[in-house]
């Protein structure tokens, strides 16, 4: 049985809820990704900051990402999976919430992230798609 910890990218970089959205955008640019986890001062996952959220929820409303805290994007309970969840449950969570990247938590701590690529690579080719020629 393959579980989330088997395919996750461990020790993901994140922004603190008090960092600015500009800080989040810089981290996304540095990592060449479209989203980063937001953690509180206690290290617990608060949510995800996406490049689209920064544009739609800050810039388009006249906000200044240099002054807006990343935590302003963390509304409600964050979608996450447990490190011991089976991969099919991870896939179901991603599909249900229409997300491409899901944080992985263990004992309330952020321990990894799983994206679509990790899901595809975590399965044998006959379960995730055809072989890619080298």
Mean pLDDT lowest among 46-50, 54-58, 118-122: 118-122
- Residue 132's pLDDT is what? 43
Q: Is the pLDDT of residue 133 over 50?
A: no
- Residue 62's pLDDT is what? 96
Q: Considering Cα of 60, then 37, then 122, then 81, what sign does the dihedral take?
A: negative
Single pTM value for the model: 0.84
What proportion of the chain, given as a percentage, has pLDDT over 70?
Answer: 91
- Residue 126's pLDDT is what? 53
Structural domains of the chain ordered from first start = 4-128 (3.10.580.10)
Provide CB contacts within 8 A for 119, sequence distance 6+: 7, 87, 90, 91, 94, 128
Q: How many CB atoms lie within 10 A of CB 82?
A: 16
User: What number is the average pLDDT over the span 42-49?
Assistant: 92
């Amino acid at each position: 049985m393959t579980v989330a910890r088997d395919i996750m990218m461990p020790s993901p970089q994140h922004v603190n809820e008090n960092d600015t959205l500009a800080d989040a955008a810089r981290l996304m640019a540095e990592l060449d990704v479209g989203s980063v986890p937001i953690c509180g001062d206690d290290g617990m996952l608060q949510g995800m900051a996406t490049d689209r959220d920064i544009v739609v929820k800050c810039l388009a409303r006249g906000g200044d990402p240099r002054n807006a805290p990343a935590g302003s994007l963390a509304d409600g309970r964050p979608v996450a999976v447990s490190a011991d969840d089976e991969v099919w449950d991870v896939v179901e969570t991603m599909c249900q919430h229409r997300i491409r990247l899901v944080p992985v938590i263990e004992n309330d701590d952020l321990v990894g992230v799983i994206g679509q690529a990790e899901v595809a690579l975590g399965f044998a080719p006959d379960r995730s798609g055809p072989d890619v020629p080298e």
